[in-house]
Chains A and B, each alone.
Chain A
Amino acid sequence: MSQVKSLENRVDEALGNEQLQTNFRSAMDYLIEKRSDQFPDKDDLNNLRNTSSSIRSNSLSKLPELLIMLEENLENNNIKVHWAETDIEANNTIYQILKEANAKKVVKGKSMVTEEIELNEFLDSKNIEILETDLGEFLVQLANEKPSHIVMPAIHKSRKEISKVFLEHFPEFPYTEDVDLITQQARKILRDRFREADAGISGVNFAVAETGTLCLVENEGNGRMCTTVPPLHIAVAGIEKVVENLSDVPPLLDILTKSATGQEITTYFNMISSPRKNDEKDGPMVMHVILLDNGRSKIHQNTEMQETLKCIRCGSCINHCPVYTQLGGHAYGTVYPGPIGITLEPQQKGISELGDLTSLCTMCGACAEVCPVQIPLPKLINRLRSETVEGDYMSQFIEGVGSQRKSIESIAWQIWKHIYSHPTLYSICSKAITKLSSFSPKKFGGWSNYRVMPKPSNTSLKELAKQAGFKNE
């Protein structure tokens, strides 16, 4: 679905939608302020970022051994572990588990990794009913759309639009634009569905290797319902979600909720350590975990880009990205939008398909300033940009390096290089440009649609400095 329209068309569409731009602007303002309120002390924040960053770096530096430890301890806890190299493998494994359990109705908690593998579409095609239970995801599913943000999936929808979607699907409820009432209605609908479900599917925020514990962060209790009410629970986790120790969890949880939604802590935090035990009265009878690679181990092999995998999916880089604020999430056409999206997605799906995403960045650096695990996003984006046009170094890690090189652009940079690396030539050109400044072009691409063209000065600084008597070597 993602690449039906070109990036250019999607951008045009987003910029042409004033309502959407206003919605995103106010939503991002709100999230930025809430986050900032949680971190009144800069030093405290930096200490927490340092701690969190080193926890994630530690995970990545020991990734293979931690994954083996995690598998062992999950199995010891009676949680069955499945490895999936690709999205197809993950989907097939999930389908097999559901089929063997004769599960027809599935409820799902919010999980970006299941968006990544397009699990809903896959299970639909197998005639298994899968229902999103996070309110935002539920709305997006009803509207037959995709999430526009990794933490707030329905943030692109106005209250009116939501009310309309609700009325269309549930005419038995009276029309309302009152958010609390809509939430009440949704709660009523979802309650029954939890009860009827044959299986629950969830994501994982942290998978603790030393104890085999799966941690799940959520606000609505739907995650707890999905993982405790149905007789079968399947959790899906990217392999990078592993952390070594239980003591790694508190700092990460702390900075995750504060960075994501500006909450001191979320309403629910689930630590899942086994299916129902003999003496227990609730919980699923059977638990499975799918550990998904889907390009991650390749990213992991590349020491420079490996930092991409430190991400804890708080969405803070997205909230602070001025380009995302203009466009919203759908224009990216990918599962993960914003700075983390344009860093991760081209590495996963290749530069031929998604290399152009790296142009959605002004290199302003706002993302790196707020990233809770200190991923140097602009640096990584810049590196990827160079891989789109040059790329002699990353071809073993990323598909399509160099494939976005356009001859006109490349020639322009060759000319630029030639002039700017030869001072005498530069001098001649700069003299010509300044002497002919009144003939300088009045239009240049899209620049002049919004601004006047900068006019070269009549005299260069080099000339002015010389005239003013400054020494020149």
Chain B
Amino acid sequence: MLKSEVYFFGTCLVDLFFPKEGLAGMKLLEREGIKVIYPKNQTCCGQPAFNSGYRKEALKVARAQIKCFPKNIPIIVPSGSCAGMIKFHWRDLFKGESDFEAAMLVVERVFEFTEFLVDKLEIKLTDLGEPTQIAIHTSCSSRNEMKIEDKIEQLVSQLSEVEVLEQEHKSECCGFGGTFAVKQADISGSMVQDKTNTLLATNASCVISQECGCLMNIGGALEKQNAPMKSQHIAQFLWERTNESG
């Protein structure tokens, strides 16, 4: 499998809500000498429907992705849960289907963004930013499903001017859970309140994560509370701190 060329699977959330973050990830890969392809027909891994119980609908959408990634090169996903969806649930989803094998060829090439930077690229970062204190929210899918929660920490630890502050209950879910945040809105709201409380208690100026779902949830709550804390995706954070033109 070539490392000099990769596909970027932007995910549905990044495409419409966090495109600058997605672009930052792509530029970062490009800066490392990698040719990045953004297949224009990609849409979504199927996770939203899958986690809501609508598997037939999830399958149809997942299936539409397969032909977007024909070359035998890595597929980089800037989200732990979308990468996890493909890596660990497509097998179930495509079980017994005629395109099972084709789907598995996608599955085995999927890497989460931070995982790829650390494990495959062994990226070396030079911090060009101002001193800052941040908190890291490692998403549940990155931790419990993908087991890559240490990658984001490793990347940030390379940045000399960044101090990471630890929040209480760091490994606890932020309450997003996809449609959970709408279906059980009050439980989800109570959970994100707890999460922002612990984050704000650190006095960090920014919380970063590798997961846009969590960021939409935590960032949205911080904004609603007018709290003095920003939220940012790791790709954008790394790009801004390590790129000369910012």
Contact = CB atoms under 8 A, between A and B. Distances in A.
Nearest to B40: A472
Contact of B188 (A385, A427, A450, A462): A450
B220 to A, nearest CB: 3
Interface residues of B, number: 74
B38 A11 contact: no
Interface in B166-213: 171-173, 175-178, 180-194
A382 B89 CA distance: 11
A327 B175 CA distance: 13
A97 interface: no
B43 interface: yes
Q: Contact size class for A?
A: 35 or more
A439 to B, nearest CB: 14
Interface in B8-32: 8, 10, 12, 14-20, 22-23, 26-27, 30
A303 to B, nearest CB: 13
B63 interface: yes
B75 to A, nearest CB: 14
B188 to A, nearest CB: 7
B183 A363 contact: no
B63 A326 contact: no
A162 to B, nearest CB: 26
Interface in A408-446: 409-410, 413-414, 416-417, 419-423, 426-427, 430, 433-434, 444-446
A451 interface: yes
Contact of B63 (A369, A421, A451): A421
B186 A15 contact: yes
B164 interface: no
Contact of B15 (A11, A12, A430): A430
B39 interface: yes
B63 A423 contact: no
B64 A389 contact: no
A465 interface: yes
Contacts of A386: 53-55
Contacts, number: 214
B40 A382 contact: no
Given A366-B144, A430-B15, A385 B53 contact: yes
A447 B176 CA distance: 10
Contacts of A86: none
Nearest to B84: A365
B144 A368 contact: yes
B158 interface: no
Contacts of B172: 322, 325, 366
Given A450-B192, A464-B20, A361 B49 contact: no
B19 A11 contact: no
B14 A461 contact: yes
A124 interface: no
Contacts of B55: 386, 390
Given A446-B186, A451-B221, A470-B8, 4 more contacts: A365-B143, A420-B64, A465-B8, A471-B38
**3 cross-chain pairs, A with B, having the tightest CB-CB distances, nearest first:** A446-B185, A362-B177, A451-B220
Interface of B: 8, 10, 12, 14-20, 22-23, 26-27, 30, 35-44, 48-57, 60-61, 63-64, 68, 92, 140-141, 143-145, 171-173, 175-178, 180-194, 216-217, 220-221, 223-224
6 contacts: A323-B184, A365-B144, A413-B57, A450-B224, A451-B189, A468-B26
